[in-house]
Structure 1
Amino acid sequence: MTNNRLTTSWGAPVGDNQNSITAGNRGPTLLQDVHLLEKLAHFNRERVPERVVHAKGAGAHGFFEVTNDVTKYTKANLFSEVGKRTPLFIRFSTVAGENGSADTVRDPRGFAVKFYTEEGNYDIVGNNTPVFFIRDAIKFPDFIHTQKRDPQTHLKNPNAVWDFWSLSPESLHQVTILMSDRGIPATLRHMHGFGSHTFKWTNAEGDGVWIKYHFKTEQGVKNISPEVAAQIAGENPDYHTEDLFNAIEKGDFPAWKLYVQIMPLEDANTYKWDPFDVTKVWSQKDYPLIEVGRMVLDRNPENYFAEVEQATFSPGTLVPGIDVSPDKMLQGRLFAYHDAHRYRVGANHQALPINRAKNEVKNYQRDGQMRFDDNGGKSVYYEPNSLGGPTETPENKQAAYPVSGVAESVAYDHNDHYTQAGDLYRLMTEEQRAHLVSNIVAAMKPVERDDIKLRQIGHFYKADPEYGTRIAEGLGLAVPAEVK
């Protein structure tokens, strides 16, 4: 017979889980009821701080299978041979909303994948858009403040949103994507994913290339209108979470093809766009997509908190053969993401089952809150040592790239924030343009100050005169004379 006894957290059997220990029938409750005290104390601590961004999310397990030989570009074990399968975990999320917010809001979607490779974990922490609003991490806290709640009213503040965007013209490309039909995916299964940043692949000979990741959904891209999104938000705010779970549960496993764009290292100095500027894309005519493999999601989490909420991702979770680039936004994320997890989950978050590498972890990091393994046992706890402890492997150093210049606060050299946004507008059908303009006008109408509206209209006009004019007309304003 299976032992199914209820126990305390320290393993002792519980005799009564329905009635607390009291002094007589009417109490008061006695302090000696240690089971009651433990239950209440644990309940008070059941919630870890929610993520500052990407708080609302859904996740699933799956695998990645290599379908094309890319070993001439990278020595990463993950991509070492065609047919190789690697287990993975993915977390999808909205960006700005709280944990209880609706799934169908107009917002970028986080697209974070953890590959459990034989050489350690590798995270691709991206979005469902190929670009971002800003390109320097020093602006990130300010940007996110505009997406959160006003400190006085505790309401979302369109004045702050558009004031920041209008003063940050590099955001125009991402704003155009966000306000387009692509701004509200129909489901998490029906959207693409992107690494967004530029990364570096290095092969076994030490030769490198710059790359960008593209996950293309096999389900096809589907979006929903603002009206349908608002209706679903009211009727089922967890619609995307439920859809993903149910699809996997019934065996309709969602899948994505992974492609990369590859740029020779020397092209970074001559390409028409700064390849490390995350507000820009590389033309696929210049650097076509190369197939790498296929990602399939085939298993739901058994416990949401243990797997989805405690999952931690960082673009700094790297493996040999995959390195970073001088992208200023990426450079800031390398610190901020790991630091967020140390604060939110704890110093030993990497040791949790959902985050722990499948291969053996050997290092000299010890102690800290919630250390639940053997803490290194009695092995040597410092390095260098002469006691046979783990040592570095120089062949796995990150690849080098040249740097030069004076240490100072400098901006990117390229400041054309309008061409790519304008190109995107001109690629749209008339119906798509009408939706874009309608969405932007609706989002900007609550802005109280006309100077903010006019400044943003100027950006739209510089991207494409028709684009700016239609939004100005929708807001009952004229395009500023100085931008014509």
Structure 2
Amino acid sequence: MTSDVGTAVGDDRNTLSVGPSGPLLVQDTRAAEKLARFDRERIPERVVHARGVGAHGTFVSYGDLSALTSAGFLGGADRETEVFVRFSTVIHSKGSPETLRDPRGFAVKFKIAEEYGGGIWDLVGNNLDVFFIRDQISFPDLIHSLKPDPVTNIQDPNRYFDFFGALGGAATNMLTTLYSDLGIPATLREMNGHSVHAYKFVNSARKVTYVKFEWTSMQGVRNLTTSEAAEIQSKDFNHATRDLYDSIEAGRFPAWELRYQTMSAEQMASADLGFNPLDATKFWPEELAPFVAIGKMTLNRVPDNFFQTTEQSAFNPGAFLPGAIEPSEDKMLQGRLMSYADTQRYRVGTNHAMLPVNRPISPVRAHTQDGEANSGNTKGNFNYGISLTQAAFAPADAARFSTNRVCAVIAQAGIEVTADFRQAGMRWASYSERDQANTVANLAGDLGQVRSDLVRNTVCSHLYKTHPDFGRRVAEAARCDMRVVMGMAARLSDNLPSGDAPGTDDAFDDAVESYEPEVTASA
């Protein structure tokens, strides 16, 4: 046994003291070190995605994708790339049950070999293909509404449905998805992953193609009903972690196929789409943008230490491959490019990218230095990077960002076509009778707890606009007034400017004012 600096430890049970019962001596620095390190074992919990589990694996490409992207690891068949994956729940704390209704994070860190260009690509997505909001400025509000009440410390449907209703319909597609059985995956192995956002493939000729990604589970997709989840939770609230690790340890390595959809810049600008393809609250219909398989990921190793890998793993959408895979102009994604990196510097440290779980397997050549937890990437006295006399690291022309023309007025404005209800209606219509019944019961179970008639009626009007049958069934289960719900829905439009919530016109206000809720014992 040694101390943290490698010196031998002679006794790890008894502190140096004046006799067996006397006061302790300051010079027993080993004992002080042990307690001091113990006091500092925790790092700040992630604000979101706190409950997570990670695993190591490999990604193998299927073929040559160089016509679309300069990413070397996709430039030929059977090119193998090391990956680390972290699955998570979004809202709840680190020790929360894995059976809760919540989006699941699906983050993949590609550690690209130097022969294929080197570096890190973090593909950070969710198991659901859409999101609640379309502009990053609302993200803190979204999370605050879903987190426990700051007074009671209890998560409260009154808070988050108030927020969802005030969005004016933007969250409807996500609510229709989340409150289906997709909201509780049976296991981590049996769920898909989605990039949610659009990205850019850039080829060697600097041609840009917009792209979305999906991880398709090769184990199939299986979900839990609310009652099934409650039954599992009563016996094991770590079931998803246990299932993943047990499967890997038994040699049943879970695998996912990475598929992509593409759109040209011309398609992206087309008014015929009926929605904005850079809107994170929308999916790309498969008949419009078919999926193509790009490679296979297999998880084959459990981390040696949970804290050093899963907890200290630092994912960042800003870790991409300039000139090969770049971010799109999606407003949610643009915000994540900065906020994730800032979070990791605060949570783990300035040099979090030097930790083994985050460190690339290709060489790091940079003129940065110093800072917390620095393990030393620079040598010598030349640290300013631009010089007449010193040999600076040469930039790679192939890694220049792609170019695009921006011709618009600078303004704080929402997108022109919100189309908040159409896709949610398509999704509802695709559900089986069983899935529809479960979605209604799941939604009504939370929405029915909301005290405000205005909030319940507003949310149900969004669902009614999505599909009359959907809205009617939830409204009846959640004690809403159908006359008011239908009146609200009649004033909604799929093309309202973002931020213009229903209720800004006289007809809506009159409907609300004339509504007299039925008084019941429960109310």
The two structures have a TM-score, normalised by structure 2, of: 0.90
In structure 1, the residue corresponding to 2:295 is in which secondary structure? strand
Q: Quick one: which of 376, 379, 392 aligns to 1:377?
A: 379
Question: What is the Cα deviation at residue 69 of structure 1?
Answer: 2.7
- Paired with 1:255 and 1:477, the residues of 2 have a C-alpha distance of 45
Q: Deviations over 1:9-49 (max 9, x none)?
A: 11111111011122222232222221111011100100110
The residue number in structure 1 matching 2:287 is: 285
- Paired with 2:324 and 2:221, the residues of 1 have a C-alpha distance of 31
The residue number in structure 2 matching 1:226 is: 226
Question: What is the Cα deviation at residue 331 of structure 1?
Answer: 0.3
The residue number in structure 2 matching 1:418 is: 421
Question: What is the Cα deviation at residue 147 of structure 1?
Answer: 1.4
In structure 2, the residue corresponding to 1:153 is in which secondary structure? coil
What amino acid is the match of 2:291? L
In structure 2, the residue corresponding to 1:235 is in which secondary structure? coil
- Paired with 1:55 and 1:415, the residues of 2 have a C-alpha distance of 31
- Paired with 2:464 and 2:14, the residues of 1 have a C-alpha distance of 69
- Paired with 1:472 and 1:248, the residues of 2 have a C-alpha distance of 45
The residue number in structure 2 matching 1:406 is: 409
Q: Deviations over 1:51-89 (max 9, x none)?
A: 110001001111111113322111101201011111110
Q: Deviations over 1:158-204 (max 9, x none)?
A: 11110011111111111111100111000000000011100000111
Residues 469 and 478, structure 1, Cα contact 8 Å, conserved in 2: no
Question: What is the Cα deviation at residue 231 of structure 1?
Answer: 2.6
The residue number in structure 1 matching 2:3 is: 8
The residue number in structure 2 matching 1:356 is: 359
The residue number in structure 2 matching 1:274 is: 276
- Paired with 1:202 and 1:459, the residues of 2 have a C-alpha distance of 38
Q: Deviations over 1:88-145 (max 9, x none)?
A: 1000000001001111100000000001113201110000011111110000001001
The residue number in structure 2 matching 1:196 is: 196
Question: What is the Cα deviation at residue 395 of structure 1?
Answer: 2.5
- Paired with 1:353 and 1:156, the residues of 2 have a C-alpha distance of 36
What amino acid is the match of 1:276? L
Question: What is the Cα deviation at residue 420 of structure 1?
Answer: 0.4
Is it true that 1:474 corresponds to 2:481 in the alignment? no
Residues 201 and 209, structure 1, Cα contact 8 Å, conserved in 2: yes
The residue number in structure 2 matching 1:240 is: 240
- Paired with 2:93 and 2:143, the residues of 1 have a C-alpha distance of 13
What amino acid is the match of 2:139? F
The residue number in structure 2 matching 1:143 is: 142
- Paired with 1:156 and 1:64, the residues of 2 have a C-alpha distance of 38
Question: What is the Cα deviation at residue 379 of structure 1?
Answer: 4.7
Q: Which runs of 5+ in 2 are unaligned?
A: 491-523
The residue number in structure 2 matching 1:295 is: 297
Q: Deviations over 1:290-329 (max 9, x none)?
A: 1101111111101111111111111110114101111000
The residue number in structure 1 matching 2:90 is: 95
The residue number in structure 1 matching 2:502 is: none
- Paired with 2:22 and 2:155, the residues of 1 have a C-alpha distance of 47
In structure 2, the residue corresponding to 1:237 is in which secondary structure? coil
- Paired with 2:2 and 2:476, the residues of 1 have a C-alpha distance of 68
Is it true that 1:389 corresponds to 2:355 in the alignment? no
Q: Quick one: which of 431, 444, 447 aligns to 1:444?
A: 447
Q: Which runs of 5+ in 1 are unaligned?
A: 1-5
Question: What is the Cα deviation at residue 157 of structure 1?
Answer: 1.6
Residues 191 and 222, structure 1, Cα contact 8 Å, conserved in 2: yes
**Which stretches of structure 1, 4 residues or longer, exceed 4 Å deviation after superposition?**
none
In structure 1, the residue corresponding to 2:188 is in which secondary structure? coil
Is it true that 1:46 corresponds to 2:45 in the alignment? no
- Paired with 1:302 and 1:77, the residues of 2 have a C-alpha distance of 30
What amino acid is the match of 1:288? P
Question: What is the Cα deviation at residue 478 of structure 1?
Answer: 1.9
Residues 63 and 75, structure 2, Cα contact 8 Å, conserved in 1: no
Residues 65 and 293, structure 1, Cα contact 8 Å, conserved in 2: yes
The residue number in structure 1 matching 2:312 is: 310
Is it true that 1:62 corresponds to 2:53 in the alignment? no
Q: Quick one: which of 90, 102, 110 aligns to 1:107?
A: 102
- Paired with 2:448 and 2:478, the residues of 1 have a C-alpha distance of 7
The two structures have a TM-score, normalised by structure 1, of: 0.97
- Paired with 2:473 and 2:260, the residues of 1 have a C-alpha distance of 36
- Paired with 2:402 and 2:130, the residues of 1 have a C-alpha distance of 25
Is it true that 1:86 corresponds to 2:85 in the alignment? no
Residues 276 and 418, structure 2, Cα contact 8 Å, conserved in 1: no
- Paired with 1:158 and 1:122, the residues of 2 have a C-alpha distance of 37
- Paired with 2:472 and 2:196, the residues of 1 have a C-alpha distance of 30
In structure 2, the residue corresponding to 1:140 is in which secondary structure? helix
The residue number in structure 1 matching 2:158 is: 159
Question: What is the Cα deviation at residue 8 of structure 1?
Answer: 0.6
- Paired with 2:97 and 2:82, the residues of 1 have a C-alpha distance of 30
The residue number in structure 2 matching 1:3 is: none
Residues 131 and 281, structure 1, Cα contact 8 Å, conserved in 2: yes
In structure 2, the residue corresponding to 1:170 is in which secondary structure? coil
**Cα RMSD (Å):** 1.1
The residue number in structure 2 matching 1:254 is: 254
